[in-house]
């Protein structure tokens, strides 16, 4: 395994110095900072890979099992940065991400990629990318979706905001725990995609609560309803099934999807109207259903004339 020959602190490379970009993909050295509920199962899937693994966490009890399994340990993020080519960061929030990255930049060799998996503000990712530039370090804005279940199963989705070169280096490491890696643009774009994805998730949760209130008032057993929802969503794809267009603009005449959208509009407006009638009869407040009924045609891309 080659030593880092590039100087620290973003200075000019010494004659004959080799940067990380010259390293074989299979020999990329991985680092992981933050071994919590998500980070621990992600990092565990990196054990035993070519290039090795170095880990760090403020809790010694989180680091100990990795050391016993053969991983190197770093006393702090700077130690990880000095020993890794691609460093994965899964800490709590923007403040912790800034603190960790600030500690790593002076210790990282030119060509290092720092991949941030924490959900942060998109402006933070852009800020850190600009701060890392003079060091010759790249920031990959790489939030994940799939929860701790996906982390344990090695089937997370990654929304990757990074340069093409940094994205390629990340794929060599992310593939150990990701089932889908989508480069969505430069740093900041990954977080913007994650926020949109989470908006869908939690608004859908709110809609599920509203549907449960209506079902409960109507005398439907909630566990029976839940079984039907999970089964049919597994077949149809759930809310994601409607995400089939490249734009949210109205679908013009001649659009090959227009007939499908018109059919969907008719079904939705009929069923939402029936649900609203039932809610009125049972005196159940369903604000999301009212909003959906009012906006569905426009949002679907086939507004009424």
DSSP codes joined into one string, 76-132: SHHHHHHH-SEEEE--SSHHHHHHHHHHHGGGSPTT-EEEE-S---HHHHHHHHHHH
The model's pLDDT over 233-245, given as tens digits with 9 standing for 90+, comes to: 999 999 999 999 9
- The residues carrying an active-site annotation are 194
295, burial (CB in 10 Å: exposed 0-12, middle 13-18, buried 19+): exposed
User: Tokens standing for 221?
Assistant: 């057993």
CATH architecture of 194-300: Orthogonal Bundle (1.10)
Could you check whether 20-186 and 194-300 share the same CATH topology?
no
Please give the Cα distance from 137 to 10 (Å, whole number).
8
pLDDT of residue 18: 32
**Domain locations along the chain:** 20-186, 194-300
33: closest CA among 72, 6, 69? 72
Residues 6+ apart with CB under 8 A from 53: 29, 30, 31, 32, 43, 46, 47, 66, 71, 72
pLDDT of residue 27: 80
The model's pLDDT over 164-187, given as tens digits with 9 standing for 90+, comes to: 999 999 998 999 999 999 999 999
Domain 20-186 has CATH 3.40.50.720: yes
pLDDT of residue 26: 54
Percent of the chain beyond pLDDT 70? 91
CA dihedral angle for residue 252, residue 257, residue 261, residue 263, rounded to 10 degrees: 120
Rounded to two decimals, the pTM is: 0.86
CB atoms within 10 A of CB 92: 12
């Amino acid at each position: 395994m080659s030593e880092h020959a590039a100087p620290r602190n973003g200075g000019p490379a010494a004659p004959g110095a080799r940067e990380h970009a010259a390293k074989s993909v299979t020999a990329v050295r991985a680092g992981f900072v933050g071994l919590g509920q998500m980070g621990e199962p992600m990092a565990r899937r990196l054990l035993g890979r070519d290039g090795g693994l170095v880990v760090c966490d403020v809790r010694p009890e989180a680091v100990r099992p990795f050391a016993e399994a053969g991983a190197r340990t770093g006393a702090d993020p700077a130690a990880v940065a000095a020993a890794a080519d691609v460093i994965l960061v899964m800490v709590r929030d923007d403040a912790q991400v800034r603190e960790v990255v600030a500690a790593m930049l002076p210790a990282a060799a030119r060509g290092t990629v720092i991949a941030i998996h924490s959900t942060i503000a998109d402006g933070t990712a852009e800020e850190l990318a600009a701060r890392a530039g003079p060091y010759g370090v790249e920031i990959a804005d790489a939030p994940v979706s799939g929860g701790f279940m996906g982390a344990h199963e090695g089937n997370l989705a990654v929304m990757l905001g990074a340069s093409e070169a940094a994205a390629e280096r990340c794929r060599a490491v992310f593939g150990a725990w990701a089932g889908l890696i989508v480069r969505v643009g430069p740093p900041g774009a990954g977080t913007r995609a994650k926020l949109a994805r989470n908006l869908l998730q939690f608004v859908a949760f709110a809609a599920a609560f509203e549907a449960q209130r209506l079902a409960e008032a109507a005398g439907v057993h909630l566990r029976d309803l839940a079984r039907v929802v999970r089964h049919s969503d597994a077949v149809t794809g759930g809310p994601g099934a409607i995400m089939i267009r490249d734009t949210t603009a109205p679908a013009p005449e001649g659009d090959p999807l227009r007939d499908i959208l018109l059919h969907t509009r008719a079904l939705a407006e009929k069923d939402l109207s029936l649900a609203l009638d039932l809610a009125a009869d049972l005196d159940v407040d369903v604000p999301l259903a009212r909003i959906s009924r009012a906006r569905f045609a426009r949002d679907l891309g086939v507004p009424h004339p």
